[in-house]
Amino acid sequence: MGWIRKDLDDPNLSAEDRAAGEQVLKNFMANDTWTKKIFKDVGILLTSHPGNRPYLKGSVESHKKTGYWICLSYDNYINPEHAAVDYNSIMPSKDVMDNIDTFVMPHHQTWGGVLFPYFWLLKVGINTLLDFKYIYCANGDCILEKPENFHMLIEKLGDADILGCGPVKDNSFNTAGMFAKTSALKAMIQHFQDHFIPFEVYEKYTLDIGNTEGRFAKAIKDLGLKVVTVSEPCDEQMGRVEQGWWYENLGFKHIHALHNIAYRYKGIPPHHKYLDNRFVGGEYETIKKYHETGDKKLLEEWWVKS
């Protein structure tokens, strides 16, 4: 029989039973810190894979500040043909797992590339969040520097179906960050599936539709969905700070791209707080020292040599 708080009012409780009851109730009520999120309108879906672990911790931590339910959809690198699997080398770290509300992982796939695994990350992730009115979806190497402004996404979407970080074109819809009605995303992923699975269906449509961004654009057009367009980032990879509406209002940044482009083109790397030193390597200390001192000579040693 379960405990309720009123049980503690019983004057006949022994000290031992009272202490035990208080602990049980404490454990019961502690779950409210995360279970109450199911009553909110928004579910957050972050998609990731082992190669993104240098950026995943920062992404999860920044999105957790919104207070919404977080589902991490993670690509499966556990190859059944390999008898020995080092889980520590491929799975999210414990502190990442501690900060999410749901973890989903589809079947191991041998397709390679981005298209096939990303479809399954979306499909299983969206199906996990169907109880929410809206789904916010982003790559697990993106962060929000202004999570307190998240309400602006709901306001901006209004009565439309989907709002992307951009660019949005007739034949391409950037999927790095998007906010949509759950019903719209569900319909879009079904459209994706209908033109993708099984392989004979993929063969039939791939030349006409193409990559993930093309398939999203095709779904939006065929389903007659209403899209909200906003000022766009400077490039699709969002590798520069001038990122358009999402950056200006949400502080939305693609940390992986900023890191890579800074290294290759002699730029300023993202702040070390968004990098996981367990997976970045020795360059973490260089980047950290730069942000602590502002000494650009440190970066001159770090930048790729032509």
284 has a pLDDT exceeding 80: yes
What is the enclosing helix (H) or strand (E) of 280?
helix 277-280
Q: pLDDT band for 45, please (50, 70, 90 cuts).
A: very high
Helix (H) or strand (E) holding 290: helix 283-293
Amino acid at 214: G
Q: Which two tokens stand for residue 104?
A: 């989903």
User: What confidence score (pLDDT) does residue 74 get?
Assistant: 98
Whether 170 and 217 have beta carbons less than 8 Å apart is answered as yes
Q: Where are the domains of the chain?
A: 34-252, 253-302
Q: What is the DSSP string of 91-117?
A: SPPHHHHTT-SEEE--------SSHHH
Span 46-71, pLDDT tens digits: 999 999 999 999 999 999 999 999 99
Q: What is the mean pLDDT of residues 266-278?
A: 95
Q: Which has more pLDDT, 303 or 167?
A: 303
Q: At what angle do helices 212-223 and 199-209 cross, to 10 degrees?
A: 90
The share of the chain scoring above pLDDT 70, in percent, equals 96
Q: pLDDT over 90 for what percent of the chain?
A: 84
Q: Cis omega before residue 80 (within 30°)?
A: no
Q: Edge-to-edge strand order for the sheet containing 162-164?
A: 102-104, 69-74, 42-48, 134-139, 177-181, 162-164, 227-228
Interatomic CA distance for residues 38 and 197, integer angstroms: 31
Reading the block at residue 294, the tokens are 């502002």
CA distances from 268 to 9, 35, 68, 137, 246 (A): 61, 40, 31, 27, 20
Helix 182-194 / helix 212-223 crossing angle, nearest 10 deg:
110
Q: Using the predicted structure, report yes or no on whether residue 210 has a pLDDT greater than 80.
A: yes
pLDDT tops 80 at residue 233: no
Checking if the pLDDT of 268 tops 90, the result is: yes
Q: Residue 185 corresponds to which amino acid?
A: L
Task: Report d(CA 123, CA 58) in Å as an integer.
Answer: 24
Reduced to 3 states, what is the DSSP secondary structure of residue 45? Answer: strand
Average pLDDT on 207-231 reads 94
Do 273 and 58 touch, CB atoms closer than 8 A? yes
DSSP 144: E
Residue 258's beta-bridge partner residues? none
* Single-letter amino acid code for the residue at 35: T
Mean pLDDT of the chain: 94
Q: Look up the CATH architecture of domain 34-252.
A: Alpha-Beta Complex (3.90)
Tell me the per-residue pLDDT of 147-194, one tens digit each, with 9 for 90 and over. 999 999 999 999 999 999 987 888 889 999 999 999 999 999 999 999
| Average pLDDT, integer, range 121-148 | 98
**Residue 273: band (very low, low, confident or very high) from pLDDT cuts 50, 70, 90:** very high
What is the per-residue pLDDT for 113?
87
Q: Is the pLDDT of residue 305 over 80?
A: no
Check whether 237 has a pLDDT greater than 70: no
Q: Is the pLDDT of residue 144 over 80?
A: yes
- Overall average pLDDT of the 14-26 stretch: 94
**Token pair 């909200």 is at which residue?**
228
For residue 241, is pLDDT > 80? no
In which band, very low, low, confident or very high, does the pLDDT at 229 lie, cut at 50, 70 and 90? very high
Q: What is the pLDDT of residue 238?
A: 65
Q: Please, which residues bridge with residue 46 across strands? A: 72, 138
How far is it, in rounded angstroms, from Cα 62 to Cα 150? 12
What b/e string do you get for 243-269 counting C-beta neighbours within 10 Å, with b at 16 or more? bbbbbebbbbbbbbbbbbbbbeeebeb
Among 112-121, 131-140, 211-220, 239-248, the least confident range: 239-248
